[in-house]
Structure 1
Amino acid sequence: MEIKKDKDSRWFDVELVPESYIFSPTDRPQNLDVAICDSIPVIDLAKHIQPIESILKASQEFGFFQVINHGVPEKIMSDAMSVLKEFFHMPSKEATGYVPHNKGWIYTNNDCTKDGVHIWRENLKHLCHPLDKCTKLWPNKPTRYQEVIAAYLLEINKLSFRILEMICEGLGLEPGYLSDTSEVQILSSNFYPSCPDPSLTLGILAHQDTSLITLVYQGDSTGLQFLKDGQWINVGSIPNSFVVNIGNQLEIVSNGKLRSIDHRVVTSKDKTRISIATFVNPSYDCIIEPAKALVNKNEPSRYKASRYKEYVDRNKAFGDYTVALRDVVISES
């Protein structure tokens, strides 16, 4: 049955999931009523003793953890979420004007998987490094977008480098081993509208990040799932927390001691979801290999050395944003 839309309706204002958004039975989400995982580690960064051991244990067992009392002001987090809600709720005719991008950022509401199926989301992504040069190339609507997101990313820079330093210490690597060669390169914001039948489609297909770490702020919404022991498990929402997941590059650097695992986003029939993901990546020309301090006769290297750009080119998995954006010529024209 064809659904007739008025001129002000948007692509997701439908009574049935369009055929182009329906995944094959093997890719569709199963067990959507699975209980939210209450055992995923929640790590308090305000404790007097740095919770390094907890971070390492979580990174080994789950590949995911959440951090609270992280030092990012609540107002900066709420302002970032608010300005992105404004962006995604602008009238369709304005949002459509952002395609194709004309500077160094991309907005889309029709992402496709490798099989040509659309995913149920809208997405805005752009480069973040160097911050002072990238800011003016971001969207200028809403008018406060550049100011608010720049303030947010300054805090994310501090938090991500702090987490990387703790991981370095836990692995026995020298200070700065990771943070000196990493950048908060990309911000990817996602809007997942409510969906008539969440069992037929996905917000993001299962994938792993090619980052060192990824930090996600999801406000009070849920939908993020990770794979553990063959089961998809929901990541709960904790007020003012960040979800941190281990990327492929950190698994390589740790020589497999830390895990990068599959994750995805499911949709909801009743609720929308907005998330802000920031990808902390190696510099594009950085050589990534297991840290020499973690390789010995008993634990030989499990991964070949590779330039980060070449690794991404070889492993273009759905969910990676680096190549597409690095191929954009950044200019003010």
Structure 2
Amino acid sequence: MENGSRSFPVINMVKLEGEERREAMELLRDACENWGFFEVLNHGISHEMMDEVERLTKEHYNRCREQKFKEFASRALENGSKTGPIEDMDWESTFFLRHLPVSNMAEIPDMDDEHRKTMKDFAVELEKLAERLLDLLCENLGLEKGYLKSAFRGSQGPNFGTKVSNYPPCPRPELIKGLRAHTDAGGIILLFQDDRVSGLQLLKDGEWVDVPPMCHSIVVNLGDQLEVITNGKYKSVLHRVVAQTDGNRMSIASFYNPGSDAVIYPAPALVHKEDEEEAEVYPKFVFDDYMKLYIKHKFDAKEPRFEAMKALETVVNGHAIATTS
């Protein structure tokens, strides 16, 4: 396994405001084109808020979820010891928070008020960061400011939610993955990960590369929808979590995704019909239809999902879109 900590792209966002902006934008462009992942520092979210999110999230796991996970874990490892590697489940304890278009925060039964408010405030800051990053991507791509945000909007605005995960220590990591390899279905993903316990890896040039834990950083990766909109200029990348024997890894991944009825297709400015190599190769589809397919095939290759959407394209109001209805 390659250790990617020295070359993994890390962008200090303060440099985007000064004389080093050009170099920072070039690093961002390279990260998007060649990694599909990068890490941002000085992103505008206070260290105090991040420390509070981490404290409350870890306390919540210890209080409400640890015992349930131990019961699941003992059964899973007992079965795996008899049958060999476990291919149909992950070594993670997780729950989901929805922020937009409608929040479900009040419906999460075991969160106390302090935790609920802190996560709500954190989501507001992450939403701002996601939209700022999308505009930086627009600038690098030569798209007008706001293009990607508009492409995600749909009739009710974007879908925005958070997957809160813990990856407890695993005594038999050879039997089970923390999280199986996959690409993310959506738009832009912002991850606040544990800065002490590693495990997240991405596939680059055929090698699994560690995503380095860094204090108060946000890890960013690009989802399948940005690959479609950029017509393959940016690509979503396979990534996984390797179960560790020591430490309980915290992962708070927030997904800024298109609205359910948003129609996703390559940006016309990035499609050059006269150049066959850059001719439109990605389908046009409704995001919710893609998600229905993704849910069934999350851990399969993304290319067949794109091909399936292309095969389902039909003409609606003069525009070809994919539809499963």
TM-score above 0.5 = yes
Q: Which among 144, 154, 160 is matched to residue 174 of structure 1? A: 144
Change (3 A) 1:152 1:233: same
Retained in 1: the 8 A contact 2:159–2:259? no
Q: Which among 27, 44, 47 is matched to residue 71 of structure 1? A: 44
Retained in 2: the 8 A contact 1:205–1:264? yes
2:179 aligned residue:
204
**1:92-111 superposed matches below 5 A:** none
1:292 aligned residue:
268
Q: Tell me how many residue pairs correspond in the alignment.
A: 271
Farther off after superposition, 59-68 or 184-193: 184-193
Where 1:214 maps in the other structure, the secondary structure is strand
**1:43-82 superposed matches below 5 A:** 43-47=11-15, 48=18, 49=21, 51-82=24-55
Deviation string for 1:98-141 (max 9, x for gaps)?
Answer: xxxxxxxxxxx98xxxx87331110011211136x433233452
Retained in 1: the 8 A contact 2:222–2:236? yes
Greater helix share, 1 or 2?
Answer: 2
Distance 1:139 1:57 in 2: 43
**1:116-195 superposed matches below 5 A:** 117-130=88-101, 133-180=103-150, 181-182=152-153, 183=158, 185-195=160-170
Retained in 2: the 8 A contact 1:216–1:242? yes
Where 2:113 maps in the other structure, the secondary structure is coil
Using the TM superposition, give the Cα deviation of residue 92 of structure 1 relative to its aligned residue in structure 2, in angstroms: 5.5
Q: Which among 192, 195, 210 is matched to residue 234 of structure 1? A: 210
Q: Which among 1, 4, 7 is matched to residue 39 of structure 1? A: 7
Compute the TM-score of the two structures, normalised by the length of structure 1: 0.76
2:188 aligned residue:
213
Retained in 2: the 8 A contact 1:67–1:242? yes
Using the TM superposition, give the Cα deviation of residue 236 of structure 1 relative to its aligned residue in structure 2, in angstroms: 0.6
Distance 2:225 2:54 in 1: 28
Change (3 A) 1:194 1:87: same
Where 1:70 maps in the other structure, the secondary structure is coil
Deviation string for 1:128-164 (max 9, x for gaps)?
Answer: 1136x43323345233121010010011011010000
Change (3 A) 1:163 1:92: closer
Compute the TM-score of the two structures, normalised by the length of structure 2: 0.78
Retained in 2: the 8 A contact 1:213–1:246? yes
Give the letter aligned to residue 314 of structure 1.
L
Distance 1:295 1:81 in 2: 43
Distance 2:66 2:250 in 1: 21
Distance 2:110 2:249 in 1: 23
Farther off after superposition, 36-45 or 286-295: 36-45
Show structure 1 runs of 4+ deviating over 6 A: 93-96
Give the letter aligned to residue 12 of structure 2.
D
Structure 2: state its 5+ residue gaps.
70-74, 77-85, 301-325
Give the letter aligned to residue 52 of structure 1.
M
Change (3 A) 1:228 1:178: same
Q: In angstroms, what is the RMSD of aligned CA positions?
A: 2.3
Give the letter aligned to residue 89 of structure 1.
N
Retained in 2: the 8 A contact 1:161–1:179? yes
Distance 2:291 2:65 in 1: 33
Give the letter aligned to residue 130 of structure 1.
P
Distance 1:149 1:176 in 2: 26
Change (3 A) 1:303 1:76: same
Using the TM superposition, give the Cα deviation of residue 44 of structure 1 relative to its aligned residue in structure 2, in angstroms: 0.8
Change (3 A) 1:139 1:75: farther
Distance 1:234 1:214 in 2: 17
Where 1:191 maps in the other structure, the secondary structure is strand
